[in-house]
Amino acid sequence: MKINKIYILILFCITMISHSCTNVEDSLVGPAIDETSLIYTEPFSSGLGQFVAKSTSGQENWSFNSNGYALMTGYVGSVNKANDAWLISPTIDLTNVTTAHFTIEHVARYFANAGTDATILVSENYNSTDSLPTSATWTQLTYKTFVDPGLWPSPIPTSEQISLTAFAGKKIKLAFRYISTSAKAGTWELKNLIIKRGEAVNIPANTGREASPLKVSEAITTTGSSNYVKGYVVGYTRNNVSYYSADTCTQVTNLIIADSTINVYSSRILVVQLPAGVVRDSLNLRDNKSKLFGKKITIYGLLGTNSFGFYEMSGTSYFIAPNGSTGGVKPIEPILSETFAKSLGDFTAQSVSGTQIWAVSFNAATMTGYASSTNFANEDWLISPNIDLTDIPEAKLTFDHVIRYCTNPVTDGTLWVSENYTSGSPATATWTQLPTSTFTDPGSWTFSKIGPISLASYSGKKIRFAFKYLSTSTKAGTWEIKNVLVLK
C-alpha cells in the first residue's frame, strides 16, 4: 500500500509539472511553431542570426534594428540612394523532405516597384559567404507581389505561405534582395522566418462575401460598405447600454454579435440594427432567444459607427440563421469589391514616373504629387486584379472618389481598361480609356459616387482596369478612391 501511495504521488507530481510546462509555453510571445514540421526558423529578434548581409552596390546594407527585425533602406538623410543589397540565409537542408514552404513577417514600403525591388530568391550553388551573390545562380520564387500597405502596421503582418517544394531533396540558400535607385528608395523590414515541411496552403482572406464573411473583429475596422459578417449572438442594446444576456430583452430593434461568447467587450462587438419585417421578426432576441442566443449567424448590411460610438450594421437586409434557414432579400454578389479601408488589397500600384506612389490613407486609396509643400511630376497607375467577365453579359463598375487641386481633373484622373495587361509597367499592355462623368473639384473632401460605368463591351473577356494619376512640378492634385465595385 505504501508503494502504491508513492506511485500515485509521483504520477500526481508528473502531471502537475506537465500542466505547469504547458502553461509556460502558452504564455510565450511569438508565433506558434509546430516543432514536428519545423525545418528552420530565424526570428531576427536579437540580430541577423546566421544570415549574411551582402551588398553588390551602394553604401547601405541589411542590418539589425533594435525593435526586433532585419532592416534595409536606401533612404538616408532624406536622400534616395542606389543600392543592391542581399540578406542570405545559411544552408537550408531539404534533402529529407518532399514538400516545404515558409512564411515571413514583413512590411515593404515606398518602393518604385516592390515586385522587382523587394524579391525572394533561392540558390543551389551559392556556397561561400565570402563571394558576392552574383557568383551563383538564383531563382526568384513565385508569390503574390508585395504591396505598400500605406502605413507601418503593428504587428508586422505575415506573408502568404511561399512554396519551396521545387527544391525538395536539395540544399539551398534563401535570399531577400533589395534594390533602390537615386530616384526611389524603399524600406523593407523582416522578422520571424519559419520554414516548415508540407506544401504551401493559403486560405483566402475573408472578403465580406457569403462564402467568406468577415469576422466581427474585421467588420469593426471596415466602414462605409455593405458586407456579410458572421458572429455569435451575445446580447442587445437598450438606451445605448449593452446587455450581454437575452433574459431581460424586451426590445426587438437590435442585437449584438461578437467573435466569441466569452470576454465580450463593447470595443469588440457589432450592434446589428433590425429593420421592420422578416429580419426583425426572425432575429430579435425577445421572441427568438432559444434559437439565437450564443449561436452563430451570418448577416448582411452596411457597416459603420453610430452617434454613440458603437460599431454598427445598419440596413440589415439578409441573414443566415444558426439552423441554416435564410431570410430577407439576398444581395447580388459583386464580381469585385474593394473598400481600400486597410490596404490596396489585390490592386497593384505602378509608378511610371515620379517618387510618389499610391497608398492608403484616411480609409481610401490615395495618390498625390504634393509633398513637403512642393509639387512633383508623377504618372502613377492603380491597377485592378484580373476581372473575369467570361460568363457575364453586362458588368458595371462603380466607385466613390474625390479629386482636388489638379490642373484639370478631367485629364489628371482617368480610368482605363486593358485586355492584355499581366504585370509590371502599364506600357507593356494596350489600354483604352473608359468614359466617365466629368470629374470636378468639389471644393471639399466630400466623396461622390461614379457610375455605374458599363463594361458590356468586354463581356466574355478577362480584363483589368486602372486609375491613372498625373501631376506636374507646377500643379499636383490629390485623388482619393474607395468602395470600388464591379457588379453583375
**Residue 449, beta-bridge partner list:** 400
Query: In which residue are the cell numbers 441554416 written?
Result: 324
Least confident of 24-38, 129-143, 386-400, 427-441: 24-38
User: And the C-alpha cell for 485?
Assistant: 465595385
Kindly report, residue by residue over 264-302, the tens digit of the pLDDT.
Answer: 888 889 999 999 999 999 999 999 999 999 999 999 999
Higher per-residue pLDDT: 259 or 265 = 259
Q: Do domains 216-332 and 338-487 have the same CATH topology?
A: no
Residue 128 has pLDDT above 90, yes or no: no
Residue 300: burial class (beta carbons within 10 Å; 0-12, 13-18, 19+): buried
Distance in angstroms (rounded) separating the CA atoms of residues 324 and 289: 16
Cα dihedral 228, 229, 232, 235, rounded to 10, equals: -100
Task: Write down the pLDDT at residue 96.
Answer: 92
N residues, the chain = 488
Q: Report which of 340, 132, 394 is spatially closest to residue 221, judged by C-alpha positions.
A: 340
C-beta of residue 314 within 8 angstroms of C-beta of residue 302: yes
C-beta of residue 37 within 8 angstroms of C-beta of residue 197: yes
Task: Write down the pLDDT at residue 8.
Answer: 37
CATH architecture of 338-487: Sandwich (2.60)
DSSP state of 153: -
Residue 138 has pLDDT above 50, yes or no: yes
Give Cα 80 to chain centroid, integer Å: 27
Kindly report, residue by residue over 44-82, the tens digit of the pLDDT.
Answer: 999 999 999 999 999 999 999 999 999 999 999 999 999
Task: Write down the pLDDT at residue 30.
Answer: 43
Provide the b/e sequence for 349-369 (b: ≥16 CB within 10 Å).
bbbeebbbbbbbeebbbbbbb
Residue 4 has pLDDT above 70, yes or no: no
Distance in angstroms (rounded) separating the CA atoms of residues 454 and 393: 11
- Give mean pLDDT, residues 109-114: 86
User: And the C-alpha cell for 377?
Assistant: 511630376
What radius of gyration, in Å, describes the C-alpha atoms of the chain? Answer: 27
Residue 114 has pLDDT above 60, yes or no: yes
DSSP state of 157: P
Confidence of residue 24 (pLDDT cuts 50, 70, 90): very low
Residue 309 has pLDDT above 80, yes or no: no
At residue 383, what is the residue type?
A: I
Distance in angstroms (rounded) separating the CA atoms of residues 473 and 476: 7
- Give mean pLDDT, residues 199-204: 72
User: And the C-alpha cell for 298?
Assistant: 451570418
Q: What's the chain's average pLDDT? A: 87
> Read out DSSP for 177-222?
EEEE-SS---EEEEEEEEEEES----PPPP-SBTTBPBPHHHHTT-
Cα dihedral 313, 319, 323, 324, rounded to 10, equals: -140
Confidence of residue 230 (pLDDT cuts 50, 70, 90): very high
Torsional sign, CA 181, 186, 187, 193: negative
Residue 32 has pLDDT above 70, yes or no: no
Instruction: Could you please state the CATH topology (level 3) that the domain comprising 216-332 is classified under.
Output: OB fold (Dihydrolipoamide Acetyltransferase, E2P) (2.40.50)
- Give mean pLDDT, residues 426-447: 90
Q: Report which of 212, 328, 247, 245 is spatially closest to residue 256, judged by C-alpha positions.
A: 245
Residue 2 has pLDDT above 70, yes or no: no
C-beta of residue 43 within 8 angstroms of C-beta of residue 106: no
C-beta of residue 120 within 8 angstroms of C-beta of residue 162: yes
Give yes or no for a cis peptide into 155 (omega within 30° of 0).
yes
Instruction: Could you please state the CATH topology (level 3) that the domain comprising 38-197 is classified under.
Output: Jelly Rolls (2.60.120)
DSSP state of 295: S
Q: Report which of 72, 63, 70, 71 is spatially closest to residue 44, judged by C-alpha positions.
A: 70
**Half-sphere exposure (CA, 13 Å, Cβ side) for 354?**
26
- Give mean pLDDT, residues 155-166: 86
Task: Write down the pLDDT at residue 65.
Answer: 95
Distance in angstroms (rounded) separating the CA atoms of residues 370 and 475: 8
Least confident of 110-114, 118-122, 321-325, 373-377: 110-114
Confidence of residue 306 (pLDDT cuts 50, 70, 90): confident
Kindly report, residue by residue over 353-369, the tens digit of the pLDDT.
Answer: 988 888 888 888 999 99
Residue 217 has pLDDT above 90, yes or no: no
Per-domain residue ranges for the chain?
A: 38-197, 216-332, 338-487
Query: In which residue are the cell numbers 449593452 written?
Result: 242
Higher per-residue pLDDT: 376 or 7 = 376
Distance in angstroms (rounded) separating the CA atoms of residues 72 and 83: 10
User: And the C-alpha cell for 193?
Assistant: 522566418
Confidence of residue 35 (pLDDT cuts 50, 70, 90): low
Residue 142: burial class (beta carbons within 10 Å; 0-12, 13-18, 19+): exposed
